[in-house]
């Protein structure tokens, strides 16, 4: 099982705090998972999650590249961080 969490603006725009998905080869890496979420969720999900500026974390560690996912992983999607 993969636990997928959405935070801040992403959570608000999708109207979804998170999902639990069955892990399998079709969701074997982070890019595949993100593409599947965009495909299954429709145009709004593609718009929100499809941007290159979405921050991704696996097991509470921010990752910038595609990585392999394992059963039991927690994946989080964040909007870009700004500050002042």
Residue range 15-21: mean pLDDT, rounded: 95
Structural domain count of the chain: 1
Does residue 84 lie in a domain region? no
Give 37-66 pLDDT, tens digit per residue: 999 999 999 999 988 789 999 999 999 999
Does residue 9 lie in a domain region? yes
Q: What is the pLDDT of residue 67?
A: 96
Q: Give residue 45's domain range.
A: 2-78
Looking up tokens 């979420």 gives 37
Q: What is the pLDDT of residue 26?
A: 86
What's the pLDDT band for 84 if we cut at 50, 70, 90?
Answer: low
Does residue 52 lie in a domain region? yes
Does residue 83 lie in a domain region? no
Q: Whats the size of the chain, residue-wise?
A: 84
DSSP category for residue 24: -
Does residue 59 lie in a domain region? yes
CATH of the domain at 37: 3.10.20.30
Return the percentage of the chain with pLDDT > 90, whole number.
85
Distances (CA, A) of 60 to 30, 44, 75: 14, 25, 8
Does residue 37 lie in a domain region? yes
């Amino acid at each position: 099982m993969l636990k997928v969490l959405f935070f801040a603006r992403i959570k608000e725009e999708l109207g979804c705090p998170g999902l639990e998905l069955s892990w399998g080869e079709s969701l074997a890496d982070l890019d595949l998972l993100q593409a599947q979420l965009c495909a299954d969720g429709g145009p709004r999900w593609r718009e929100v999650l499809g941007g290159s500026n979405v921050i991704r974390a696996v097991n509470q560690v921010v990752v910038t590249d595609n990585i392999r996912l394992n059963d039991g992983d927690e994946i989080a999607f964040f909007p870009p961080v700004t500050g002042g």
